[in-house]
Amino acid sequence: MQDIMTHSIKITKVAQSRVSQVELNNSIVMGTQFSDHMFVCDYQNGEWSNARIEPLALIPTHPAAMALHYGQAIFEGMKATLGKDGTPLLFRPDENAKRMNFSADRMGMPLFPEDLFVEALKQFVDLEKDWIPTQEGSALYLRPFMYADEPFIGMRAATSFKFIVMGSPAGPFFSRKIKLYAERKYVRAVNGGTGEAKAAGNYAGAIRPTEYAKAKGYDQVLWLDAQNFEYVQEVGTMNIFFKIAGKFITPDLSGSILAGITRMSVIAILRDKGYEVTERPITISEIIEASKNGTLEEAFGAGTAVGIARIEEIGNNDLSIKFPSENPVSDMVSDTLDGIKTQEMEDKFGWLVAAK
């Protein structure tokens, strides 16, 4: 367990919690219900101030708020679980804090103190622990985000921002294997762009292609490179891993791929279990060839929201790659991640942070 210095955070509690009105352990869909409180901090005059936890409420926003016009908005995604003794737990929040600041720097936004980031999450989750579902595969999804709230019409970096954390109880994301649509028209990101930042605009650009993919019977888009539509990048909300001839391959962080916290955790687990993991460019042609010669053994997506998503098929109008029905290593990775997060397994990596 890691320990972080304590910050002064003013807490104003709701008069009556709404948690009793929500069926937390009935496979609740992430993003449809929200917990009682939110953490808020303001950036003005070159510094962050007024850190507070208060009842969840609408936020007054000027129509000229710069995030609405110029897209200075970033976010993180994390989950809180309950340990065996009922202690609320965070999973590698220090890594989310680092990535948040990486995104902020890329988007011309102020860095947020990383120790305050972690302390805010700890105090927030401790306050909202009754909102953490106990059903297997469930958690309290946490959404830290930052946006420019300065009212100004003009192309420059904003000077005032808000940093907010809110929570949404979430059941398992995918209860079945998924099908991916290899997109050959639209692109998610290019080197030098914002693909390696967790910027809101990245996801806005993915909405229409994802709708097209779902209309064709697929679950998410498999993004390919923007030049040749040949190199695999990532899935809509996940990084991706392939098991070929007993070894794992995942696309390297080339500058257009998000550095997933789950991705780095999966790599550590696989290597700890003795598997060779290579981070390198991988082409869709290589995946097709491995499928044809029988060396393509497993594939799965890895992300905070989805956990480990086993892949059944990659296809589009003229392509169909089928994966084996058995997923022993994918299952092991999923069970290990879930086991660590709920203290059913030893946290040998030191990833857990108690939220109280």
Residue-by-residue DSSP string for 251-297: ----SSS---HHHHHHHHHHHHTT--EEE---BHHHHHHHHHHT-EE
Element (H or E) spanning 99, and its range?
helix 93-106
Residue among 339, 256, 243, 218 at smallest CA distance from 300:
243
Q: Would you state the pLDDT for residue 79? A: 97
Q: Would you state the pLDDT for residue 18? A: 97
Give, to the nearest 10 degrees, the angle between helix 114-127 and helix 93-106.
130
Q: Would you state the pLDDT for residue 27? A: 76
Give the separation between CA 134 and CA 121, rounded to whole angstroms.
19
Task: Give residue for tokens 């106990």.
Answer: 134
Q: Is the separation of the CB atoms in 313 and 268 below 8 Å?
A: no
- In the beta sheet, which residues pair with residue 341? none
Q: ∠ CA 50-56-59 to the nearest 5 degrees? A: 70
Element (H or E) spanning 168, and its range?
strand 161-170
Q: Would you state the pLDDT for residue 6? A: 54
Give the separation between CA 197 and CA 216, rounded to whole angstroms.
29
What DSSP state is assigned to residue 43? E
pLDDT tens track of the chain, all 356 residues?
A: 334 345 799 999 999 999 999 998 877 889 999 999 999 999 999 999 999 999 999 999 999 999 999 999 999 999 999 999 999 999 999 999 999 999 999 999 999 999 999 999 999 999 999 999 999 889 999 999 999 999 999 999 999 999 999 999 998 877 789 999 999 999 999 999 999 999 999 999 999 999 999 999 999 999 999 999 999 999 988 999 999 999 999 999 988 999 999 999 999 999 999 999 999 999 999 999 999 999 999 999 999 999 999 999 999 988 999 999 999 999 999 999 999 999 999 999 999 999 97
Give the separation between CA 45 and CA 26, rounded to whole angstroms.
46
Cα dist from 276 to 4, 86, 244, 310, whole Å: 34, 36, 11, 19
Longest Cα–Cα distance of the chain, Å, equals: 63
Q: Is the separation of the CB atoms in 25 and 4 below 8 Å?
A: no
SS (HEC) of 201-262: HHHHHHHHHHHHHHHCCCCEEEEECCCCCCEEEEECCEEEEEEECCEEEECCCCCCCCCCHH
Q: Would you state the pLDDT for residue 25? A: 80
Q: Would you state the pLDDT for residue 91? A: 98
